Amino acid sequence: MRPRFSPTSAAGAGIGRSIALDLARRGAAVLVTDRSPADARQVADEIDAAGGRAQALQLDVKDAQGIRDAVDATVALAGGLDLLFNVAGINIPKNVEMMEEDEWASVLDVNLTSIYRSAKHAIPQMRRRGGGAIVNVASIAGVLAENRCGAYSASKGGVVLLTRNMAMDFARDNIRVNAVCPGSTRTPRTEGYWRNSPTGKSEMAELCPMKRSAEPEEIARPAIFLASADASYITGAILVVDGGMTAGFRIPTFDRM
């Protein structure tokens, strides 16, 4: 894989980090962006030490000019931009009655509006190179509603539909747009949640037929597949990667028969 790559955020940890490292191993030049400059630098150094090509950039995806600068930095680093991974996401677990308006706005800004911003500036660069691929990280909460997470579910549902919309609009430019919908995934953020809920981790695992959470690499690999030439006829796809969590429901009495 020789395309250029610009994640818009969250490449310093979790799923974004795994995507950046895997892409670099496959030969891509990687712009590692994260809200934490130290985390971005650490991943870029890891890529450089392994013989890859990377640059670190501090980025808050709520900053429209920052996203424009990230796209420009990718072009400067690699001579063009072929791939874009939108990974950034936050959750404030409150129902709509309890959530303040600024909290609602923040979740939608990071999870959904940032994808509009990054795509707006990346697509012209991809068009100049004859095409490209965008992969958005949504969530199973965008496919099925998640209790106490109204803003998160609304934002991720928006990611699903925006992905399909962009796939239709830019197929003529040879730009493919797809999304992955992770289920429960073991990342620094989710591990932080479980520290505040001693039984939460086991309860979440019990909801999954595979009885465990995904490792970040298990989400990164399907995301990279969607960006690769092996997926050259796939656009508008929403790939659920959740260990079977949304496959169906169990009737407890049947398990005892």
Task: List, by residue number, the catalytic residues.
Answer: 152
How buried is residue 160: exposed, middle or buried, by Cβ count under 10 Å (0-12/13-18/19+)?
Answer: middle
CB atoms within 10 A of CB 3: 22
Q: Give dist(CA 33, CA 67) in Å, integer.
A: 10
Six token digits for residue 87: 């990974």
Residue with tokens 């962006």: 33
- What single-letter amino acid sits at 56? A
Six token digits for residue 101: 């308006």
Helix, coil or strand: residue 215: coil
Q: Which residues have a Cβ under 8 Å from the Cβ of 23 and sit 6 or more positions away? A: 1, 5, 30, 83, 224
Provide the β-strand partners of residue 136: 86, 179
In the DSSP assignment, the letter for residue 97 is: T
Q: Which residues have a Cβ under 8 Å from the Cβ of 160 and sit 6 or more positions away? A: 138, 142, 143, 179, 181, 238
Q: Give dist(CA 45, CA 56) in Å, integer.
A: 8
Q: Give dist(CA 59, CA 225) in Å, integer.
A: 25
